[in-house]
Structure 1
């Protein structure tokens, strides 16, 4: 039986991609899959719309050629696929530049995953190191805006700490060889209010960081732990680089580290809306200078500190 191309998402973008897929693969059978019950078991532009359970059945019977996730931001669909056992290499996106479907990981591996290019520095700084250890505090997504995905792809391993439960589950699926922990980090182990936004890269424990409270979609009680407690639990005492992206909780994270027990070569800290002069006068910079670190670079919102000892 001929294999099927499944377009996951029968919305506006899906309909546009459908026409391009038909032009590129005129002899292939195509169908939509959608989570909206109103669209399921209907026809859209002459193409059947199936339920996700039917997509899974076709996949398990080896009848799917490729799955093309059609929304520009299809994180939930990607997680839905991989959490049900679909190999991420069977998940594609439509590359408008080349007018062709590509494996979704190529969207990030072939480009810079870091939001502001921080991995350019890290790749250069650690270019002689085949495998290392990282700690990503506020990891958010396994590859979108990630400063550690390049390292994971090259065989490094580490700890990802992510308080958002959706992103935590996605990290577990896409980066199973890392240690993934669903919590926040602070100087006291407790539960804290976690403010959730539609754009989950903006999620924060720090209310002072919120520009427009009307954008909050949920407030959850989330456990927070000390960094030294986690490092002790997993017996990690030598870290090549630590990435800290915690939306206003930077000093609390730094104060949760037992600096006598751990050696960290490089630390990245998000310090948004700061000039270079302001960075040098910041409490974070003063704290890290006291620990023997010097700021060596700034990539837009991220400052990179190196252990000068």
Structure 2
């Protein structure tokens, strides 16, 4: 199995639970916030063929080499390039830490690991989900299942669904915050 998780935080989530007992041929975890890096590596220490990237994944057309990540120790899952995104979760400026991190385009990340075919792409990047997915070259990369956070992209959801549909994907039902799309070829994905 080959998978990429963009926005892996400190691990220990349902993606980890899904892959921990699988035969992983290649696993790429991406988490830009340095404070989570050691915990993420520790979480996956017993899973083979895992690589961890400490970058912020952005659409390839973004030219900035670094971005400022806003995050809080009080809630690991809300770190974002958008300070107002962290505010929207109820945190004040006093709660927010800022760190400058390098960037990497989403297509560039997949090319770095010479990925053409991927079983699973999990993406949860707190405010950049739609922009990243719309810039993902689905003509170049054959990805069976893409799971993304839809909760914060409602204004771009129809555009994103059309993008996936135009590239041969079936749209799965919304889960609480996530939605999955499936490459049409009889493959179906179920969380175990």
Give the structure-2-normalised TM-score: 0.79
Q: For residue 130 of structure 2, give the secondary structure of its aligned residue in structure 1.
A: helix
* Greater relative CO, 1 or 2 (CA 8 Å, sep 6+): 2
Superposition CA RMSD, Å: 2.3
Are residues 1:168 and 2:47 paired?
A: no
Unaligned segments of structure 1, at least 5 residues: 1-131
Any residues of structure 2 matched to 1:270-281 within 5 Å, and which? 270-272=149-151, 281=157
Once the 2 structures are TM-superposed, how far is the Cα of residue 279 of structure 1 from its aligned partner?
8.5
Measured against aligned partners, the alpha-carbon deviations of 1:40-97 in whole angstroms (never above 9, x if no partner) come to xxxxxxxxxxxxxxxxxxxxxxxxxxxxxxxxxxxxxxxxxxxxxxxxxxxxxxxxxx
* CA radius of gyration, larger in: 1
Measured against aligned partners, the alpha-carbon deviations of 1:139-192 in whole angstroms (never above 9, x if no partner) come to 11221x332442133232411010111222222233243111001111125211
Matched residues, number: 174
Q: Select which of 12, 17, 23 maps to 1:155.
A: 23
Equivalents in 2 of 1:152, 1:279: separation in Å?
34
> Could you tell me which residue of structure 2 aligns to residue 3 of structure 1?
none
SS at 1:200 equivalent: strand
1:123-143 Cα deviation digits (max 9, x unpaired): xxxxxxxxx111101011221
Tell me the CA shift for residue 246 of structure 1.
0.8
Bigger helix share: 1
The alpha-carbon deviation at position 208 of structure 1 amounts to: 4.2
Q: Return the TM-score normalized by structure 1.
A: 0.51
Secondary structure of the 2:38 match is helix
Secondary structure in 2 aligned to 1:230? Answer: helix
1:172–1:180: 8 Å Cα contact kept in structure 2? yes
Among 258, 272, 295, the alignment partner of 2:137 is 258
Note if 1:204 corresponds to 2:87: no
8 Å Cα contact 1:137-1:161 kept in structure 2: yes
Quick check: 2:170–2:183 contact (8 Å CA) kept in 1?
A: yes
> Could you tell me how far apart the structure 2 residues matched to 1:147 and 1:180 are?
14
Q: Give CA-to-partner distance per residue, 1:247-295, whole Å, 9 cap, x none.
A: 1101222244332321000111101168xxx699533223222322221
- The 5 A counterparts of 1:87-166 are 132-143=1-12, 145-156=13-24, 157-166=26-35
1:180 corresponds in structure 2 to: 52
Gaps of 5+ in 2: 186-192
* Secondary structure class of the residue paired with 2:77: helix
Could you say which residue in structure 2 is the equivalent of 1:226? 105
- The answer to whether 1:245 aligns with 2:114 is no
Could you report, residue by residue, the CA deviation over 1:198-245 in whole angstroms, capped at 9, with x for unpaired residues? 211111112342314515421111111112212111112111111111
1 or 2, which has the higher strand percentage?
2
CA–CA distance in 1 between the matches of 2:17 and 2:34? 19
Q: 1:185 to 1:281 in 2, by over 3 A?
A: closer
Q: Secondary structure at the match of 1:201?
A: strand
